[in-house]
Amino acid sequence: MKYLIAGLGNIGPEYELTRHNIGFLVLDRLAEAQGAKFEHTKLANKCEFKYKGRTIHLIKPTTYMNLSGKAVNFWMQDLKVTKENILVITDDIALPHGNLRMRAKGSNAGHNGLKNIDEQTGGNNYARLKFGIGNDFHKGQQVDYVLSQFSKEQLENLPFDMDKACDMVLSFCTIGISRTMNQFND
């Protein structure tokens, strides 16, 4: 069984610890825990590891957030991974900071990375793990908020929240989405 896990974010040091890059941060933590190393390849930084008989491919698209679908679609085709074995990790302003919610499919809710994945892969019928970043911004300040760094307090709790997200990814790949949602969703 093969799985493709895409963590969304933007490349470049200026985006490294921003809220919008939580998908990259979670995959970095998961790869490190599994002893896997990312390598730059076509449209993404990619690594893979084996876990309980599954081959898990992690990608961090290098296409920037708004064109994430290009990388997801390429690797889905190249690796011959079915849509039910794809999981996208993304930030979500509708959830309080640190809350995690997995869904089997759903709307892009105005998230440009998810919107592009929907367009490139032919629909929204893929799993997503939404990582809450909160919505502590004034009207018209959303872009600045998601592209800014976590607060000191949020950074202190981030390792715990990212570990839970990593556990959810491994659970998705082993016991499936329904049981993972029942066990982990906030």
* Angle separating helix axes 177-184 and 152-175, nearest 10 degrees: 140
Distance between CA 53 and CA 94 in Å, rounded? 35
Place of tokens 């998230």: 111
Task: Return the DSSP state at 106.
Answer: -
Torsion angle of the four alpha carbons 32, 28, 42, 122, in this order, in degrees rounded to the nearest 10: 120
Write out the H or E segment, with its range, that includes residue 156: helix 152-175
Catalytic residue among 20, 57, 97, 111: 20
Write out the H or E segment, with its range, that includes residue 5: strand 2-7
Largest CA distance in the chain: 47
Strands 54-61 and 100-103: unpaired
Distance between CA 101 and CA 43 in Å, rounded? 27
User: Is 20 a known active-site residue?
Assistant: yes
Catalytic residue list = 20
